Chain A
Amino acid sequence: MTNAEYQMLNNQSKGYLMHATRYALCLLMAVLAAGATLAQAQTFPAQTNSKEILARTPAQLVETLRNPGASVFEKAKACQRLAVVGTKDAIPALVALLPDEKLNIYARFGLEGIPDPAVDEAFRDATRTLHGRQLVGVIDSIGQRKDAQAVGLLKELLGNSHAKVASAAAGALGRIGNTEAAAVLKEALAGNSPVKKCIADGSLACADGLEAAGNKAEAVALQEAVAKADVPKYLKVAALRGQFRLQQGEARDLLLAQIGCPDKAFFNVGLAVARQMPGADVTAALAEALPKLSPERQALLLRALGDRKDAAAASLFLAASKSDSPAIREAAIVVLAKHGDASAAAVLLDAALADAAVAPTAKEGLTNLPGQEVDAAILARLAGADPKAKAVLIELLGARRAVAATAAVRAALSDSDQPVRLAAIAAFGWLAGQQDLDVLIGKALAAGNPAETSAAQTALRMAALRMSERDACAAKLAGSLTGASAANQKYLLELLGRVSGQKALEAVVAGVKSTDPAVKDASARVLGEWLSADAAPALLEIIKSDADVKYRTRALRGYIRIARQLKLAPETRLAMFRTAMELAQRNEEKKIALEILPRIPSAATLGVAVSYLGAPGLKAPAADAAVKISGKLVGRDPKAVATDLQKVVDAKVGGDTGAKAKQLLGQAKAAAK
């Protein structure tokens, strides 16, 4: 009713009856307005008592379902818990919720979990009274429980005028997957149902069920029925795949028919099956089919043949590598690269050096081909190669870690052609031994040729990380710091950080004492990111004695990171925490340090955490640490948790932390009684 209408009514009103009418109209308007607000506002406040509901006994949960005053939330959670702990006693209360639009899913949740045939009976009965989405859900549950007694009922529902109901019935029959269900589905496939796609899908699932039960002939028959039905192609393709699975090696002719089929979908099935169907005769038949295909399809079939790993096909790939078709050549190279042996080296080398289209694939293959004869083949080509080829060959020798080629690669470091030199530098990163490090260090620190310096730095990094004698490597790198430019010292220090170990640590620590600001900065950064706890003493010294607050702060953060992240004994971790808190001058570092405590949960560390509640600016992180510790401790030491968490609650910490604290406190108090 609009305001104008109401006013007119008001002007016409006379006597008590009109007053009463006016009052009733006001009430109605208020109710309507409130209803609109209610509907719009979805009056559901936050629901935060799930833990308490989930802890109820099965009998209490059933009572919750029966309680007309229980909220949707309570009933929902009760249903989900009954899914795990419910018994036959819960069935009636759950069934009563099936018609409810919101609670249908929850009731089904609960019922699906109860392994009692009374549930199946209840679901079957419910199909006679439910409609719409609720009915569809119950049919799905019947399928989920594979209720074989429901086949007759589902047959009826398959003919339901509502497509979603019929589809659900088809799906359920598919999941039941027995002979009776198969018969129903097969009959339906031959009919004119508007949900034939779902029936076909159900049939495919049913065929899988029959196959699992050892009923192969029926499964094949059902797959064939789908293949012949008036259904979209992808369903026929799926049925064909099923037939292949069931017939295995007996389906060679069927496979060849797909390989020869112009339709891409069926050809693709053939490709997939071509990889799996065993037998030398199958390989031979596929090889024979190859030339009849288009170049693009030959390429795809070659790759499938390669994946069969049948040595009988090897000559096929070698021949295909010389094809006029780029697609076929590429496929052959891919196969040889992946599955070939040393005999493929020559072909792959030709491709790597002269066929731009397939060179990357050929090179990858050559990198991985096993056997020292491959190294020898590459090395043999090096002599007399032009610079471009030389660079490729050297790259390959490096990637293969062809130790036998080290001398040749070392010689190429001073080749007249820069691309060759660059390739040699990179390869040396893979090949250099401890005794060669000086060569790489020299190039990495040299000025004059930025491209080679950069390549050498990358190569040296690679070599240094590979060195089995880590300390010896670190000693060489550290020895090169003296006299190096600031930029080079920074590079070496970062590399020492990656190499790690005692010698590297010593060098970096020495760098922190440097008077050169760039060196000191680089060293301090590297030390702060050290991956082992033995950097802690050096960091501590910086925190205590460095004149620059920037370095003290950085070192402190590095120290805290070690205490937080790395593997340490609990007492060491706690000692480091105490030290960090003593030395930290800013709350930023104290906050991070407090995150150490939850790593060592105990009554003692809980007490430590709460002792910081009163520290200015630290209430929130201290409370957070206390709550995390309490979470781990509440089962073991509820009294300690109850005592200390009370302090967190009394400190009126807000947000999620405060809420968690209250929740845990309640739990601890209950457990401590």
Chain B
Amino acid sequence: MARKNSTFTRRRFLATAAQAGAALAAPLFIPGATLGKDGAVPANERVALAAIGIGGRGTHDLDCFFQEPVVQFVAIADIRKDRRESVKQRGEKKYGPGVATYRDFREMLPRQDIDAVLIATGDRWHTMASICAAKAGKDIYCEKPCSVSIVESQALADTMRRYGNIYQAGTQRRSIANFLFAADLCHSGKLGKLTAVHANTLHPGTGHDWLPGQPLPPKDEVDWDLWLGPTPWRPYNKAYIDGGWRNHWDFHGGGILEWGAHTVDLCNWAGTNDERLPVLYEPTGINATIPTTWDGTNDAGCVATYADGLKLVMRSTGWMGLGTCAARYEGEDGWVETGDTGRLEFSSGRLRAEQKQFTEAGTSAVSHIKNFLESVKTRKPARSNAEVVARSHIICHAAYIAWQLGRPLKLDPVKVEFIGDEEANRMRSRALRAPWRI
């Protein structure tokens, strides 16, 4: 991608950044000679990538991006100083000196030399950061889940449509061969008319309690206000920023969404080609207490039904042991089940004869990131674009709302509103802390 007017833009940005007191720790300009150690890709075809919030999963994603010759990593924004520094080191080991660091991503996004952004923060930030990046004209690869409410899902899709950015959700199983193959069996009619699709999800529950407050570290070490971002205030505790935010309702969309971002997405794709939403949501296991630890071993979930009678079963138990994030598709002429090991099981020899062998693990983002970069180049929507993931996330959110309320809910799939249930409709959105808005 061309770095148009780069010197002028960087000079102006530096002046602005100095006024804003931004935490810059490296020069902004990366000379063309240092871009990519092998220099194999012409400068105007390179994708300058920045990252926001790189923890464990983000590191994997970043490593996948680093494998791609077209990518040039230029900046990291993270509320944690230790992570800014470790990602900078990682980037400079690959690309040479010059990776910039920012505490606040709002200082980074206006840079016109950045083409795309990898967002791998905690869930609470995914929609907001994606929208901010879109409004800054960037293409986006954002880890799942993409939203924590129905209204966020809609805002995400609306923004991407409005701005025309390439958006790829980190639902990488859409690019993994065994899952593609299983979906193809559905689309090609080899299972006959589909009767049920099953998604491996986790226990839905989250908690509302607060951990004890701890002394706030200096802002440059941990920017707690920015970590919270759009979520409501609560006192700082280090456990939250070390990954312990999961299962807190304010920060997390629940266990159906945790794996359903992948598996419900796969089911909606396999079952309806992403075209429809279920109209009925019947929660299961609703007498379970809401746990305060993340427990995936019981069977609370939801059964959703489409208008044509197709069932989407969200459950955590009864799987065949083919790996995590399993999915199963059942039709009148047979079934197929698969999971992250790449293995498939079939109902019959006829289907088994279609067998292929797959080796890419369901957790690998390699193929998915290639698809993203291809879309950045061609402007063709990515596989997990905002329209399709918004739909599958709405299913997960609707299921969780039904589970929290402990009663079946009917959904108008056009308006995306619950029919005759005001409480459920009130749960479609969550207020956002100023100055963040979607």
Chain A nearest CB, measured from B183 CB (Å): 15
Contact between A598 and B212, CB atoms less than 8 A apart: no
Contact between A660 and B352, CB atoms less than 8 A apart: no
Contact between B434 and A137, CB atoms less than 8 A apart: yes
Please provide the chain A residues from 96 to 144 with a CB less than 8 Å away from any CB of chain B in the complex: 101-102, 104-106, 108-109, 112-113, 115, 133-134, 136-137, 140-141, 143-144
Task: Given A233-B137, A242-B162, A595-B297, check contact A633 B287 (CB 8 Å).
Answer: yes
Task: Given A531-B345, A656-B293, A660-B291, check contact A470 B235 (CB 8 Å).
Answer: no
Task: Given A467-B349, A667-B289, check contact A50 B208 (CB 8 Å).
Answer: yes
Is A324 interfacial (CB-CB < 8 Å)?
A: no
Q: What total count of A-B pairs have CB within 8 Å? A: 202
Comparing B260-268, B386-394, B424-432, the segment that makes contact with chain A is B424-432
Chain B nearest CB, measured from A95 CB (Å): 14
Task: Given A41-B215, A238-B164, check contact A566 B321 (CB 8 Å).
Answer: yes
Task: Given A105-B433, A108-B431, check contact A628 B298 (CB 8 Å).
Answer: yes
Contact between B352 and A466, CB atoms less than 8 A apart: yes
Is A264 interfacial (CB-CB < 8 Å)?
A: yes
Which residue of the partner chain, among B135, B233, B297, contacts A598 with CB atoms under 8 Å?
A: B297
Which residue of the partner chain, among B291, B321, B354, B427, contacts A531 with CB atoms under 8 Å?
A: B321
Contact between B162 and A204, CB atoms less than 8 A apart: yes
Task: Given A42-B236, A275-B380, check contact A634 B289 (CB 8 Å).
Answer: yes
> What residue of chain B has the Cβ atom nearest to residue A197's Cβ?
B135
Which residue of the partner chain, among A468, A565, A595, A631, contacts B291 with CB atoms under 8 Å?
A: A631
Is B41 interfacial (CB-CB < 8 Å)?
A: no
Please provide the chain A residues from 615 to 673 with a CB less than 8 Å away from any CB of chain B in the complex: 628, 631-636, 656, 659-660, 663-664, 667
Is A482 interfacial (CB-CB < 8 Å)?
A: no
Q: How large is the interface on A (under 10, 10 to 19, 20 to 34, 35 or more residues)?
A: 35 or more
Please provide the chain A residues from 219 to 241 with a CB less than 8 Å away from any CB of chain B in the complex: 232-234, 237-238, 241
- Bound: A606/B75 CA distance, A: 54
Is B29 interfacial (CB-CB < 8 Å)?
A: no
What is the predominant secondary structure among interface residues of chain A facing chain B? helix
Is B213 interfacial (CB-CB < 8 Å)?
A: yes
- Bound: A167/B164 CA distance, A: 22
Instruction: Digitize B394-418: 1 where CB-to-A-CB distance is under 8 Å, 0 elsewhere.
Output: 0000000000000000000000000
Contact between A50 and B232, CB atoms less than 8 A apart: no
Chain B residues near A458 (CB-CB < 8 A)? 357
Chain A residues near B331 (CB-CB < 8 A)? none
Chain B nearest CB, measured from A229 CB (Å): 15
Please provide the chain A residues from 189 to 246 with a CB less than 8 Å away from any CB of chain B in the complex: 201, 204-205, 208, 232-234, 237-238, 241-242, 245
Is B30 interfacial (CB-CB < 8 Å)?
A: no
Is A47 interfacial (CB-CB < 8 Å)?
A: yes
Chain B residues near A636 (CB-CB < 8 A)? 287
Contact between B422 and A115, CB atoms less than 8 A apart: yes
Chain B residues near A466 (CB-CB < 8 A)? 352-355
Chain B residues near A144 (CB-CB < 8 A)? 429, 431, 437
Contact between B164 and A76, CB atoms less than 8 A apart: no
What is the predominant secondary structure among interface residues of chain B facing chain A? loop
Chain B residues near A233 (CB-CB < 8 A)? 137
Number of interface residues of B (CB under 8 A): 71
- Bound: A498/B214 CA distance, A: 52
Instruction: Digitize B306-345: 1 where CB-to-A-CB distance is under 8 Å, 0 elsewhere.
Output: 0000000000011111100000000000000000000101
- Bound: A47/B232 CA distance, A: 15
Task: Given A83-B426, A115-B422, A143-B437, check contact A461 B357 (CB 8 Å).
Answer: yes
Is B69 interfacial (CB-CB < 8 Å)?
A: no
Chain B residues near A465 (CB-CB < 8 A)? 352, 355, 357
Is A518 interfacial (CB-CB < 8 Å)?
A: no
- Bound: A465/B178 CA distance, A: 14
Is B419 interfacial (CB-CB < 8 Å)?
A: no
> What residue of chain A has the Cβ atom nearest to residue B235's Cβ?
A44
Contact between B289 and A307, CB atoms less than 8 A apart: no
> What residue of chain B has the Cβ atom nearest to residue A48's Cβ?
B209
Chain B nearest CB, measured from A185 CB (Å): 15
Q: 17 other contacts beyond A84-B427, A599-B297, with CB at 8 A cut-off? A: A41-B214, A54-B208, A102-B233, A112-B431, A140-B434, A168-B434, A171-B437, A245-B161, A271-B379, A275-B380, A466-B352, A467-B353, A531-B321, A567-B318, A635-B286, A660-B289, A664-B289
21 contacts between A and B (CB under 8 A): A41-B215, A44-B234, A47-B210, A50-B208, A76-B232, A84-B426, A101-B233, A109-B430, A140-B432, A140-B435, A205-B158, A205-B162, A234-B163, A264-B2, A269-B164, A461-B357, A462-B356, A465-B357, A561-B321, A565-B321, A599-B298
Chain B contact residues, CB within 8 Å of chain A = 1-2, 135-137, 158, 161-164, 207-216, 232-236, 285-293, 295, 297-299, 317-322, 343, 345, 348-350, 352-357, 377-380, 422-423, 426-427, 429-435, 437
